[in-house]
Amino acid sequence: MGGSTKIMPNLFQVQATDGQARVGLLRTPHGQVETPAFMPVATQGSVKALAPDDLMSLGAEILLCNTYHLMLRPGIEVIHGLGGLHSFMGWQGPILTDSGGFQTFSLGRLQRVSEEGVLFRSHIDGSSHLLSPEMSVEYQARLGVDIAMVLDECAPYGVEEAQVRHAMDVTHRWARRCQEVRRPEGQALFAIVQGGVSSALRLESAASLVSMGFDGYAVGGLSVGEPKATMYRVVSLMGETLPHNKPRYLMGVGSPEDLVECVARGIDLFDCALPSRVARNGGLLTRRGRLNVDNAPFRERPGPIEDGCDCYTCRSFSLAYLHHLFRAKELLAYRLATIHNLRFVVRLMEEMRRAIAAGAFAPFRERFLSEYRVTDEEVRRFQKERWIEAQVKPRKSKGDS
C-alpha cells in the first residue's frame, strides 16, 4: 500500500487558550479544520437528508463516517475501486472514520471478543464477520480517509471494574497492533482512551497510550448512560492529562450544553448523531433549548425558527411552513430541519472559537448555559436507548426505511 505509520509533526497547532478551552488548527490532506469543531455524522457515507453542498454551505469542515457500516455495505473494496471514500460520497473535505468497534457491540449480534478481534453478526443480514485491529486500520487505509481510529473495546456503563480493566487492557494491546499497520502518507491515527468512569483507570489508559505516541487521542466510553456530572469529571481529567500539542476528541457527544461544557474542559473535536436525529423527528435547536415544530402552537407561527440564525432554513421559511411539512410528512421537512440543527451546532463552535481567542470564554459559557433549557436527562437516556434498539431490529423488508 505504501505510506508510513510515523507521527505527523504538523498535524495540530494550538493557537489560543482561555482556561482549559483552546482554539487550534488541524491540518489534513484534504484541508484544514479550525477547532473546537463538530463533525456531522455521515455513518454510511451520507449525512441523512443532506447533500455535500448543504454541508459546505452550513460551514461543516470535517465529517465522520463509520468503518463497520461501510464494510458491510457497499464493501470496502467497492469504495476503494471507485476512487476512495472522498470520491465515492462527493465530499472533498477531511473525513474521520470510526473503527467500527462500538457498532459491533451496539448494533451487531456480538458473538465473541478475543485477542484476535471481534466476531459479530451483521445487523443487516445476520452474516458472520471478524474485525481485527489490523483489518480495521487496513480498511480505513483503503478508504483513504484523513484520520483513522484504532479498534477498541468499550465496556458498558455499570459493569464491574474488573471488566472495565479487561476491556481497557485489550484496547491497549489492540492499539499497539493498529500502530504497526502501514497506512497511506498523511493519514493520521488516533488512539482511544478507555477506563469507564474510574479516574485511576482513565489515567492509566491515557499514560499507556500517550507513551506509544499517536497523532491524536480520543476519549471513548462516555455518554453511554452515566450521569452528566460523571462525564464532565472524566472529561476534565482527560483535558488536564492528554498532551497539549495533540488533538483531543470526545466521541459521541453533541448536545449543545455538553459541547460548551466539554470545550471548557479542553476538548477539540466532537461527533454525534443527535442534532440530525432529533431534526428528523421535528426537534429544532434554539438558544433557549429544543422545540418540537410538530406541536399545534406552531401551526400559524410566522417568522423563522430563531431570530438571528443565518441558516438557509431560517432565512427562507417560517415555522408554520415547517410545521406543515412535518404534519404532511413531506421529505423536505427532514432536509430543512437538519440544515438548521447542524448550522446551529457549527455556529455554536464558531462562536466558542471567537470567545476563546478574545479571552472571553467564561462569560460566553455562563450566558449560554443560563439561557439554554436542557432536555431532561432521563428522557434523553430513554430516547437514546430506543434509538439503539431500533437500529438492532432485523430488516423485514428489502428496502431501508
Cell of 399: 428496502
Cell of 339: 440544515
Partners of residue 26 on adjacent β-strands: 12, 33
Q: Checking DSSP bridges between strand 31-35 and strand 21-28, what pairing results, if any? A: antiparallel
What is d(CA 305, CA 315) in angstroms, rounded to the nearest whole number?
A: 9
Partners of residue 112 on adjacent β-strands: 119
Active site residues: 98, 271
Q: Please list, in sequence order, all residues whose beta carbon lies within 8 angstroms of the beta carbon of residue 221, skipping any fewer than 6 positions away.
A: 154, 155, 157, 194, 195, 196
Amino acid at 109: R
The CA-atom distances, in angstroms, between 209 and each of 173, 202, 237, 269, 336 are 10, 11, 15, 18, 42
136: nearest Cα among 178, 168, 108, 105:
178
306: nearest Cα among 323, 283, 286, 291:
286
